[in-house]
Amino acid sequence: MRKEKTIKMRKINCISRIIRREMINKMMPVVILGIILMSLISTLAAAVPSLDFNQFFGEVKGIDEGTKIIIKGEDKVLGESAVKGGKYGYYPILNIPGESAEGARKGETLTFYANDKQIVLATFNPGEATKLDLVLAAAAPVPYCGDNDCNEDPCSCKTDCGACPTDTDDDGILDVDDNILFIKEKVAEKTKNFEKENIKIKIDNNEKLENNYEGKKEIRIQENEKPIIKFDFDFDKEQKLDLGQINVEKQSSLEQTGYIVVRGIESQANSKTIYLDKLNKESKSVCIKDAPVDSISQMSEKCNGESEIFLNCDGTKKESYVCNDLGSQFEVSGLKNSAAKEVTQEQEKVIEKEQSEQEDKQNKEVMQEEGDTAAQQDLGKSATPKYLCEDGIDNDDDLLIDSSDPGCTNRLKTGDAAIGEDVLME
């Protein structure tokens, strides 16, 4: 009986060992996998320290090992960390204090420094671990257009290329190299009361414009074949002719006298010729204002305002200006600034009368001034003493000097001149 129990126990033990061996064999891969995972986790933890929610970290370039990276808020230092292994933010962990008296507020601008040099600005967002790589400016490579940082497009790479090069007039030449900026539609837009679709620009009477002009050229702006403005431009002396700056206005279809106002080319043309419509057959004169003008309303009715001149349009030169009657237009040359209006016969009579009266008044004033001057001169001559007494000189060569001379009397006719008195020698 005892022997049978012993045999049973041995069998049970044997079966238990077999079961444990099988269980160990089945669990071994799991154990090994667990060991491997723990090893990997330990390795990663050693390579990348844990991150706090308000931490800044990243790689550095151009900054020496051991250099302190300091972060400042608007009025205080918020944290610092040393460079180690080409990284910062880990030694110690660069954790920015949050909302507190010692911390930074949300949205506050943080400034990063290395070796007392500002590197970059960042915005503080609490609750975030921010990776921000730092590059000391002195160590950064010199950028250039097309260095692959901006997909080879200069206009999207302002850091490398500065302002985006433009071609305002779309003629295939960048503005920096183009010596004439011209967009017909833009010029037409700045004309008032003209047929915009019929505006033409000609250079040396050629409507087909080139790109790079040299020397002096004649610039014309026309409405169909009807001239509006004409001036010379020296492309050798001036940097650029910008026709888009020109503004031209003439009378509306409801007005009964012609006028023209031109702005925007004062600095581009020393002298210009302008053309205004002649709406009255009897008109033979114009009034010009050679000063900056924004509106024709700034000109006086009697052509007697500042910088205003009345011109007969018979080709006669007055000062530096000449007006010619072309039949349907008046041509006025010699202007620096540009404003001119037609003068009707009725207006001309008023202006001529006004100017005649003004000239008469000026002539009278001149004559009066000249008469007063002549009278003063005559009076001065009659009052001038022939000789002076008490000057110590024998003025009349009679061997008698000053008051000792019987012919020397003072103003009081006492016979002796006091020293310093002006008297006559008779």
Our measurement of the distance from residue 177's CA atom to the centroid of its chain's CA atoms, rounded to an integer in Å, reads: 19
Binned at pLDDT 50, 70 and 90, residue 107 comes out as: confident
Q: pLDDT digits over 354-392, tens only? A: 888 888 888 887 777 776 666 555 555 544 444 456 666
Binned at pLDDT 50, 70 and 90, residue 425 comes out as: very low
Candidate CATH numbers 2.60.40, 1.10.3470, 1.10.1760, 3.30.70; the one for domain 56-139: 2.60.40
401 pLDDT higher than 70: no
DSSP code per residue over 103-131: S--TT-EEEEEETTEEEEEEE--TT--EE
**Percent of the chain residues topping a pLDDT of 90:** 33
Q: What is the pLDDT of residue 340?
A: 97
Of 292 and 176, more confident: 292
Which of 127-131, 174-178, 241-245, 393-397 shows the lowest mean pLDDT across its residues?
393-397
Of 329 and 400, more confident: 329
Mean pLDDT of 31-58: 57
236 pLDDT higher than 60: yes
What is the Cα–Cα distance from 346 to 356, expressed in whole angstroms?
16
Query: Torsion over CA of 374, 377, 379 and 381, rounded to 10 degrees?
Result: -140
Mean pLDDT of 73-86: 89
Q: Is 313 exposed, middle or buried (0-12, 13-18, 19+ CB in 10 A)?
A: buried
Cβ pair 390, 402 in contact under 8 A: yes
Q: pLDDT digits over 190-228, tens only? A: 889 999 999 999 999 998 887 778 889 999 999 999 999
Q: Is 298 exposed, middle or buried (0-12, 13-18, 19+ CB in 10 A)?
A: middle
Q: What is the pLDDT of residue 13?
A: 60
Question: Taking the model in full, what pTM does it have?
Answer: 0.51
Quick one: which H or E segment has residue 376?
helix 345-382
Phi, psi of 316 (to 5 degrees): -80, 135
Domain ranges of the chain: 1-47, 56-139, 180-343, 385-426
What is the Cα–Cα distance from 214 to 17, expressed in whole angstroms?
107
Quick one: which H or E segment has residue 59?
strand 56-61
